[in-house]
Amino acid sequence: MRTTPPDATHWSIRSMAAETGFSHTTIRRMWTAFGLQPHRSQTFKLSSDPLFVDKVRDIVGLYLSPPNRALVLSIDEKSQILALDREQPVLPMMPGMPERRTHSYVRHGTTTLFAALDVASGFVIGKCYKRHRAVEFLKCFRLRRCAGEACDHEQR
């Protein structure tokens, strides 16, 4: 768990078996028993913003103790999402066989997704736009007072 093989980025069942002297079947059983998956990894990046900790505290404070009559939204953006179509239809998953799709695709440009989560209600507001400007952002998140019913932008 703390080392990697000298000639690879992660252990395989067979490389671990060769290193330890156990059979590959024994290594597989051990990995399964302990939920180990050395071939999988996740990445993360911490912000270099010097005010990052202060901003996080402010945001968490809003969630934990929102001002009276306030609507707290969590807003995120993902710019330049590739709009792709697979060249062939996706073949559905079947018993013993994973979902299959072709590696080739047709590009249809990019799109920008603006999305927000109302933490209190769990309602998601979101829309895709062709451009990534303040105009589109405001159009998506223009908040109106709604007395219990859905706003225009939530119905679109």
**What per-residue confidence (pLDDT) applies to 153?**
43
pLDDT for the residue numbered 149: 44
C-alpha angle 101-102-107 in degrees, rounded to nearest 5: 110
* Predicted local distance difference test score (pLDDT) of residue 80: 64
For residue 71, give the amino acid letter: L
* Residues linked to residue 150 through DSSP beta bridges, in sequence order: none
Neighbours of 27 (CB within 10 A): 21
Q: Which helix (H) or strand (E) holds 1?
A: none
Angstrom distances, CA of residue 74 to CA of 34, 78, 141, 149, 150: 36, 14, 11, 20, 18
C-alpha dihedral sign at 84, 88, 92, 98: negative
Domain range summary for the chain, segments of one domain joined by +:
71-155
Quick one: residue 18, left, alpha or beta (phi over 0 = left, psi -120 to 50 = alpha)? alpha
> Which portions of the chain are predicted below pLDDT 50?
145-156
**Distance between CA atoms of residues 103 and 128, nearest Å:** 25
Query: pTM of whole model > 0.85?
Result: no
Q: Alpha-carbon distance 1 to 94, whole Å?
A: 34
Provide the β-strand partners of residue 106: 85
